[in-house]
Amino acid sequence: MKKIISVVLIFCISVLGGFFCFSNSNETAKLGAGIEIFNPQTTNTSVDGATKMVVSGSIPALTLRDLVCDSTIIIKGKVNKLLPSRWSNEGYKKGKDIRNVLQTDIIIDIEKVYKGTPYDSKQIAVRIDKGQTDDMIVESDGYPDFTSGEDVILFLAIDDGDAANANENYYVLKGMAQGKFSLTQTNNIYTNNKEEIEVEKINHIIKENLELEKANPREKMTKEEIKKNNEKYFGK
């Protein structure tokens, strides 16, 4: 009994110790007493002379069912390479007085297709809205990072935004960072930091969710209904 009480006591003292060492009182934050109150990578104006834009936002929370049912294609593959970042405008240049979105295409070698038919059976591009040019860095934690050679399962969709380029073949991640599942330390288990998928079970997961959707569809608005709804709040 004594031993159990001692262990619980040590544990409680340690939790309190950890809490007070790292709790963010004004004093400790001001003094920076061992506490990193900002990410130093994002506080510099420039790296190698480039201007920095930090993009942050809120994203719609998607369940595994949302990912499965709303993705155009679901694939397993390996990151081949990242292409140089470029602007969303004509000629891929940054324009004046127009909307400029810095984008990066990631080339994926397809190993397996679980849902849909990709525009190319061997290799596809996945476009994310962040990147770096000679004079600009755009950071966005809404999009995941990719590394050459990385094993991934991707939930992908057709770009239906105003910066979409209909003349090019590429996909976007369903639900931004939620659409990328990376291989964990455990073989054959992939995660998007929220859900985990075992490769052996993915076909079953997809089938199960699609059947569930067919039997009991999720309630959601059509694009036309969304447009009409939003006009009530944001005007035409």
Smallest distance from other proteins to CB 201, Å = 21
Nearest distance, CB of residue 228 and other proteins, angstroms? 10
* Shorter beta-carbon distance to other proteins: residue 3 or 149: 3
* In the complex, minimum distance from the CB of residue 91 to other proteins, in angstroms, rounded to a whole number: 18
Instruction: Give 44 or 203: the residue with its C-beta nearer to other proteins.
Output: 44
In this complex, which beta carbon is closest to other proteins, that of residue 19 or of residue 185? 19
Strands (E), 61-213: 73-82, 86-87, 102-115, 123-128, 131-132, 136-140, 151-157, 172-173, 180-183, 189-191, 196-198
Shortest Å distance, C-beta 203 to other proteins: 23
